[in-house]
């Protein structure tokens, strides 16, 4: 059973993500990118798990909160810089989400559980952590992959896709074939999963 504070927390997380100055057109209307991303991840959670926990639903919505505030270009363009950026983001997202959860009255039992999911601390043993990873990867493949193809080139994209698929469960990978992807994306994913 979902806590009464859940709706309030989701509303505040969505408001924060709704401040994203970056937009994506949906039905001809500009929508904040991070709001769309978190909503899409939440929708995938519902497909990946029959009865997701309240903590997982909160983590799914808050795991990229205000991502635009720590741009990728503030870290070096190498592999080390990428991992430093990802670590900084995860900590930031966990702290921002925890602050909202405290504000709406969640106790110190729920907050560490949500933070652990956001920080990916329970991988590889926890089903909820795997569902969040799968959902995140599926939304990336469905909505962001095509934007990077020209920048990365085919070889780099295949390597990234191999690492992406390796992080996913068999159930998550099973959903990849259902994604609405263009021909180039499908070809590269097929190559990466050989």
pLDDT band for position 160 (cuts 50, 70, 90): very high
> Residue 135 falls within a domain, yes or no?
no
117-131 burial, b for 16+ CB within 10 Å, e for fewer? Answer: bbbbeeeeebebbbb
- 103 and 12: one domain? yes
Cα–Cα nearest to 64, from 83, 103, 37: 37
Query: Counting every residue, how long is the chain?
Result: 194
- Note the pLDDT tens digit of each residue in 40-75: 999 999 999 999 999 999 999 999 999 999 999 999
- 118 and 77: one domain? yes
Return the DSSP state at 97. Answer: H
> Residue 136 falls within a domain, yes or no?
no
Cα 187–chain centre separation: 23
- 68 and 158: one domain? no
181: containing domain: 144-194
Q: How many structural domains does the chain have?
A: 2
- 116 and 26: one domain? yes
Residues 159 and 146: beta-carbon distance below 8 Å: no
> Residue 148 falls within a domain, yes or no?
yes
Q: What is the pLDDT of residue 2?
A: 60
In terms of pTM, does the model score above 0.85? yes
């Amino acid at each position: 059973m979902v806590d009464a504070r859940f709706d309030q927390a989701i509303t505040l997380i969505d408001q924060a993500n709704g401040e994203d100055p970056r937009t994506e057109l949906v039905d001809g209307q500009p929508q904040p990118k991070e709001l769309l991303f978190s909503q899409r991840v939440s929708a995938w959670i519902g497909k990946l798990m029959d009865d997701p926990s309240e903590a997982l639903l909160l983590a799914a919505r808050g795991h990229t909160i205000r991502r635009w505030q720590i741009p990728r270009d503030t870290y070096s363009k190498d592999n080390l810089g990428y991992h430093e950026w990802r670590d900084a983001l995860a900590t930031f997202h966990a702290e921002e989400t925890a602050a909202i959860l405290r504000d709406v009255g969640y106790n110190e039992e729920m907050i560490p559980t949500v933070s652990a999911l956001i920080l990916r601390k329970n991988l590889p043993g926890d089903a909820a952590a795997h569902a969040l990873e799968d959902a995140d990867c599926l939304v990336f493949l469905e909505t962001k992959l095509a934007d990077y193809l020209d920048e990365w080139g085919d070889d780099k994209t295949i390597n990234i896709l191999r690492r992406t698929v390796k992080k996913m469960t068999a159930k998550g990978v099973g959903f990849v074939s259902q994604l609405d992807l263009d021909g180039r994306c499908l070809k590269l994913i097929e190559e990466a999963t050989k």
